[in-house]
Amino acid sequence: MGSSRDKAALAVLLGVEVLILYFVTLHSSFFNSIPIPVTAIDRAIPFAPIFVVPYFSFYLLVLTPLFVTNDSQEFRDIAFGFGLIVFTSCVAFFFWPTAISTSYTHPLLRGLLAIDLPRNACPSLHASLSLYCALCARRRIHAAFSRYALWTWTLVVIASALLTKRHAAVDIAAGAGLAWIVYSLIFRPIHVEAADSEDVLETLRIRNRPMEKTPGEIGAPGRLDAGGCFQDFAIFVTLAAIGFSISIWALALPSVTTCAAGILITAVALNAFPLLLQEGMHGLLLSSRRWNWIISAMLGATLLMSFSSYRVLHIRHLRHLGGPRNPDDYHNHSHSRSMVWFLHFIWLTCASLLYMILIPVLALKYGSATQRKLICTEYAFLFLIYSILLRAFSVRDLLLVWILPLLLAGTFTVIRGITQRGIAEASDPYRLGRTMLPKPAIAFLLLNENHHLEHHLFPEIASYHLPRLHKSINPGDRH
């Protein structure tokens, strides 16, 4: 990858991606385009066809990282961000097409107008890729004059899209915002953790202690049982499909009672999906690492979240049990007793909605460079999946068949979480989680997550082995 040939090959691959995705979406006519509103800024900017020259210099500007970046990993990161911007923009172009609402002609623009159409306006690829490539190139350009020249060129290229009336201020702003977000996510400094606290070290010692004393007893539950995993996965996915089908059927009748039954069945199934996700986080869903990630990401999509972002925070929670960096311990966020109780109240009432926002934000803060790229990749594909669903079904149908069951399942999850670790003694690893022994049917619906203390102490043990683990370490327990 460090050779010029490898870098050129990757640049050609990205160029082909841009050409195919851009022109396919440009000439697609599945959905009507939305006119971009003309603002006061657009009316104040004159039409200057001579700026078609810097407009075309865009194709040279985006090549600057190719010539100034020598580090192979950094160049791959740049290419990843470039591809992410193009993919995300083209999903927007295809499913949510926009077009400039003004039309200007001039002999100097004849060649441009022959190959380009007013569509694919927002977000502006001209603005996003220009700014992104300039930010990436700036990392390796240290001379003050060269930096000034780079930024002057970049600003002129972006301005040329307005001066030739090929873009409006709204889509220029959207493109620039997308570029800044992608660049910040990929190249922001990695969070450096302090040394593990004594509470964390004690938790790790607890996890190793039974392994040393009774390796035979604990080793068997530690093995991956593909059959047991597939059985749990198949049952709850099938249950979710049945719930969806009943809800869709009820909408056609229409029948409020049948729809309520479909919503409840779907919610029960979706309640198990976060538990299946936890299996995937520890590589316990499938033996294949790639398929473990793919299936887990698909499960996360049904919950409106990225699997990888959830994994970053869940692993952090398990590692820092009882420590000051446990994100689920509200005493780490406030020393006020009233505020801690208020946070518990917010958790009970709004956790499902807040988690959809906070999980990716915190995961991107604490995640490694590789984890950040996985999170960005998953959210890009979630954008594609949700766009397809919103175009294929009405908002009303999605609300009744999917979103309402998801909110109900979120309520189940919050209640389950409070019973398992709410208002627990955070400083003691043995008391940070609770184990409950409900009826077998309830334990099955919870995927044995009622053994929450065991899960906290031994997260690498699959859920279908937690009852055996509980008996191994608590042979006389009858409570």
pLDDT digit string (tens) for 106-154? Answer: 888 888 878 888 888 999 999 999 999 999 999 999 999 999 999 999 9
Percent residues over pLDDT 90 in the chain: 44
Nearest residue to 121 (alpha-carbon basis) of 85, 73, 157, 175? 175
pLDDT, one tens digit per residue, over 389-414 is 999 999 999 999 999 999 998 888 87
Q: For all residues of the chain together, what is the average pLDDT?
A: 83
Better pLDDT: 456 or 261: 261
pLDDT, one tens digit per residue, over 308-354 is 999 998 888 777 766 666 666 666 666 677 777 777 677 777 777 77
Say how many C-beta atoms besides its own lie within 10 A of residue 337's C-beta. 9
pLDDT, one tens digit per residue, over 174-218 is 999 999 999 999 998 876 666 666 666 666 666 666 554 444 454
Q: Which residue has the tokens 């009858």?
A: 478
Q: Choose the weakest-confidence range: 74-83, 157-166, 231-240, 349-358.
A: 349-358
The CA-atom distances, in angstroms, between 457 and each of 6, 208, 211, 311, 449 are 46, 9, 12, 17, 13
Residues in CB range of 384: below 8 A, 6 or more apart: 91
Nearest residue to 329 (alpha-carbon basis) of 410, 427, 237? 427
- What kind and span of H or E run contains 34? strand 34-36
Nearest residue to 32 (alpha-carbon basis) of 98, 118, 123? 98
Residue 2 pLDDT greater than 60, yes or no: no
Buried b / exposed e across 312-327, counting CB within 10 Å, b at 16+?
bbbbbbbbbbbbebbb
- What kind and span of H or E run contains 100? strand 98-100
Beta bridge partners of 100: 36
Beta bridge partners of 17: none
Given this model, what pLDDT does residue 102 score? Answer: 75
- Between vectors from CA 214 to CA 209 and to CA 216, what angle results, nearest 5°? 135
Given this model, what pLDDT does residue 1 score? Answer: 47
pLDDT, one tens digit per residue, over 439-455 is 888 888 888 877 777 77
- pTM, entire model: 0.86
Rounded average pLDDT over 282-307: 88
Given this model, what pLDDT does residue 219 score? Answer: 47
| Token pair in block for residue 417 | 């979480």
Residue 277 pLDDT greater than 50, yes or no: yes
Report whether 135 contacts 182 (CB < 8 A). Answer: no
Q: How confident is the model at residue 6 (pLDDT cuts 50, 70, 90)?
A: confident
